[in-house]
Chains A and B, each alone.
Chain A
Amino acid sequence: MVETYRGGLELLCDSKKIHNVNVEFEQQNGEDKLTMKGLLSWVRTNLIKERPEMFMKGDTVRPGVLVLVNDCDWELSGQLNTSLEEKDVVVFISTLHGG
């Protein structure tokens, strides 16, 4: 799975914009699918190096962060319940205000 961080969010994970990750997750309640919810908690534990509050709020992303799964707003695929498959591309992008 590929993850990208843009709009300054990359600064929270060693300034690296693109992460090729292999998420190992525990099966829960017999479900064997990884969801965005599972990915976010994995990211928080394994990738975010500083200021997690700049990335997450509660169990979801903080206001002002757009999440794209395969170039599509996660709002259209079920947000935290979006199920992920191998080779999916997830982009976390912080909205910009400057100009």
Chain B
Amino acid sequence: MSWRWGLGQANLLKSSILVVGAGGLGAPALLYFAASGVGKLGIVDHDKVELNNMHRQIIHTEAYIGQPKVKSAAAACRSVNSSIEVVEHQEALRTSNALEIFSKYDIIVDATDNAPTRYMISDCCVVLGKPLVSGAAVGLEGQLTIYNHNGGPCYRCLFPTPPPRTACQSCADAGVLGVVPGIIGCLQALEAIKIAASVGEPLSGRMLLFDALSARIRIVKIRGRSMQCEACGENSTFNQQYFREFDYEKFTQTPLCVFWLSLRPIMKLIFESRISSKEYSEIILNKEPHVLVDVRPAHHFKIVSLPNSLNIPFSTLESRLPEISSILKKDEEEKDAVSESSAPPLYVVCRRGNDSQRAVQYLHKMGFNSAKDIVGGVESWAQNVDPNFPTY
């Protein structure tokens, strides 16, 4: 190492870094922070280790499945380097605890997986004046930049208005090749270590775009700090008090935690237009005529699907309405002509029961009054009806 780094290592040992999220991005970053000798390393996460995390969250091992990610990650960091201080924050990041946690660290690393948390972390860093190393990865692409550092922009300067909810994909839903967040997480570690050690040129005012499929890395120039920014602009009124009271879920129209989606459906339908997976299994058992539409994306449907279901991904529903009409009509004609002439019931299923509710609401609007959604989607089917049904 060059003489310049000698001082860098001493700086690193004196520094403190907080990693928010011990998932696909946080896993490699934390390991490198521990190995490189960051003096104090904090980890925030509320989640538990699951088997389906393993392909990307390489800090966790099978032995920790079911245990808190923070505990698993902290143990891994300590086993790499016993001389550093590792602090466990086993809680979800909220406006009520973020200021207190962040204020104990020099540098914040955003390794989370959703839009509201990203706005919250950026705003908190602005309020406290902390540099933020922000990374993201979905599918085969990754993005990386540093916010709120050396006069550079904050997250809100770049994205003053939150994107529509339908444009936000999480790794858990959209899928990601494990090594992609791994690479971005490593680059986050690199940038944070550079800031901590005061060496080199930080990736501030620039953004790194990584495209794994074509093996291309592009570094682009992004705008500087915006004087009109609501958070860091000249006339900003964003302070600690305002931050504590800011409703990020409402602002981005997204629950702070993906898991909540299954508990707090965004659109609640009237009770009559929903059935449980158990009730649906009885319909199959009794061979009641019906049509089942699965609105998950085609690649989900290919993994596993319910018997006799028709895949019409939610995004294509509008254009494929005629298809549903003709199937319902055909089934109607096949029925005994003398019996009731109403169309057979139409059921809609998705992964967890959110898109299916949206689909049913839309179908009702378009005149498909018999449409009902299966509560909790195929996950509920696996949990309550068929334990052998694979989940993903």
- Give the B-binding residues of A (Cβ under 8 A): 6-8, 17, 50-51, 53-54, 62-66, 68, 71-73, 75-76, 91, 93-99
Contacts and interface: CB of A to CB of B under 8 A. Distances in A.
A95 B24 contact: no
A8 B139 contact: yes
B169 interface: yes
Contacts of A7: 138, 141, 143
B25 A99 contact: yes
B222 A99 contact: no
A73 B23 contact: no
A6 B138 contact: no
Given A91-B218, A97-B113, A98-B181, 11 more contacts: A6-B211, A50-B319, A54-B164, A62-B164, A63-B160, A64-B164, A71-B221, A73-B221, A95-B163, A98-B136, A99-B111
Given A8-B138, A51-B315, A98 B220 contact: no
B128 interface: no
Residue of B167, B211, B219, B221 with most chain A CB atoms under a 10 A cut-off = B167
B95 interface: no
Given A99-B25, A99-B181, A75 B163 contact: no
A63 B137 contact: no
22 contacts: A7-B141, A8-B167, A63-B160, A63-B163, A64-B164, A66-B158, A66-B207, A68-B220, A72-B220, A73-B223, A75-B223, A93-B209, A96-B169, A97-B138, A97-B168, A97-B170, A98-B138, A98-B176, A99-B21, A99-B23, A99-B25, A99-B26
B212 to A, nearest CB: 11
A99 B142 CA distance: 9
Contacts, number: 106
Contacts of B112: 99
B219 to A, nearest CB: 8
B17 to A, nearest CB: 17
A63 B219 CA distance: 21
A72 B221 contact: yes
Q: Which 9 A-B pairs have the closest CB atoms?
A: A64-B163, A63-B161, A96-B136, A98-B138, A75-B223, A99-B25, A98-B171, A73-B222, A99-B113
B135 interface: yes
B273 to A, nearest CB: 25
A11 B169 CA distance: 13
A96 B167 contact: no
A95 B169 contact: no
B53 to A, nearest CB: 12
A7 B138 CA distance: 8
Contacts of B115: 97
Contacts of B71: none
A99 to B, nearest CB: 4
Nearest to A76: B223
Contact of B135 (A53, A93, A99): A99
B159 interface: yes
A14 to B, nearest CB: 14
B286 interface: no
Given A7-B141, A50-B315, A66-B158, A94 B24 contact: no
B111 A95 contact: no
A6 B141 contact: yes
B162 interface: yes
Contacts of A75: 222-223
Interface string B169-213: 111001010000100100000000000000000000001010100
A12 B207 CA distance: 23
Contacts of B176: 98
A54 B174 CA distance: 16
A94 B167 contact: yes
B258 to A, nearest CB: 10
Interface string B328-339: 000000000000
Contacts of A76: 221, 223
B320 to A, nearest CB: 12
